[in-house]
Chains A and B, each alone.
Chain A
Amino acid sequence: MTMNIAALALLDGLAYASLLFLVAVGLTLIFGVLGILNVAHGSLYAIGAYATATLGQWLVAQGFNPWLTFPGMIVAAVAVGVLLGGLIERLLLQRIYSKDPVLQLLVTFAVFMILENLQRMIWGVQPYFMSTPLTVLGNVRLLGINYTAYQVLFLPAAALVVLFTLRYFLRHTNMGAQILAVTEDREAATAIGINASRVYFMTFVIGACFAALGGALATPTTSLVTGMGANMIVLSFAVAATAGLGQIEGAAISALIIGIARSFAVYLSPEIEVIMPYLIMVLVLLVRPNGLFGKETVRKI
Chain B
Amino acid sequence: MKKGLVAFALLLALALLPFAASNMVVFATMVMAKGLAVLGILVLLRADQVSFGHAMFFAAGAYTAAFLTAAWRDIDLILLLVATLAVTGIAGLLIGVFVTRYRGIFFGMINLAFSMVLYSILEKAFHITGGSDGLRIRRPTLLGFEFSRSEFDLVMFYVVLAVAAACCVLVGRYLLSPLGQALRAVKTNETRVEYLGLSAKSVLLTGYVISAMLCGLGGVLMGLVQGLASPEHAFWSRSAELVFIAVLGGQGHIAGAFAGTLVFEWVRTSAAALLDDSWQLILGVTLIAIILWAPGGLIQLWHRLAGRRTSSDRTGSESGVAE
B104: interface (CB < 8 Å):
yes
A188: interface (CB < 8 Å):
no
Inter-subunit contact A285/B110 (CB<8 Å): yes
Inter-subunit contact A109/B244 (CB<8 Å): yes
Q: Output the nearest chain A residue to B285 by Cβ-Cβ distance.
A: A114
Interface size on B, residues (CB 8 A): 46
Report B273-323 residues with CB < 8 Å from chain A CB. 277-281, 283-285, 287-288, 291-292, 295
One of A117, A121, A289, A299 near B191 (C-beta < 8 A): A299
Report B250-293 residues with CB < 8 Å from chain A CB. 277-281, 283-285, 287-288, 291-292
B208: interface (CB < 8 Å):
no
Of A2-10, A71-79, A95-103, A169-177, the one with at least 4 CB within 8 A of chain B? A95-103
A96, A230, A275, A279 — most chain B CB neighbours (10 Å) = A275
One of B98, B237, B247 near A230 (C-beta < 8 A): B237
A107: interface (CB < 8 Å):
yes
Contacts of B287 in A (CB 8 A): 106-107, 109-110, 113
Contacts of B190 in A (CB 8 A): 299
A271–chain B nearest beta-carbon distance, Å: 6
B222–chain A nearest beta-carbon distance, Å: 21
In the bound complex, CA of A281 to CA of B295 (Å):
33
One of A37, A106, A274, A275 near B105 (C-beta < 8 A): A37
A258–chain B nearest beta-carbon distance, Å: 12
Asked whether A114 and B281 contact (CB < 8 A) given A103-B295, A275-B120, A301-B189, the answer is yes
Report B169-219 residues with CB < 8 Å from chain A CB. 189-192
Since A102-B48, A105-B105, A237-B112 are in contact, a sample of 16 more A-B pairs with Cβ atoms closer than 8 Å, ordered by chain A residue number, is A96-B292, A105-B108, A110-B284, A110-B288, A113-B284, A116-B280, A234-B116, A241-B106, A241-B109, A274-B123, A275-B120, A278-B114, A279-B117, A281-B110, A285-B102, A299-B190
Q: Provide 30 A-B residue pairs closer than 8 Å at the C-beta atoms, listed in order of the A residue.
A: A37-B109, A95-B292, A99-B291, A101-B104, A102-B247, A105-B50, A106-B243, A106-B247, A109-B287, A110-B291, A111-B284, A111-B288, A113-B280, A117-B280, A118-B281, A234-B112, A234-B116, A234-B236, A271-B124, A271-B125, A274-B120, A278-B117, A282-B110, A285-B102, A286-B98, A289-B101, A299-B190, A299-B191, A301-B189, A301-B191
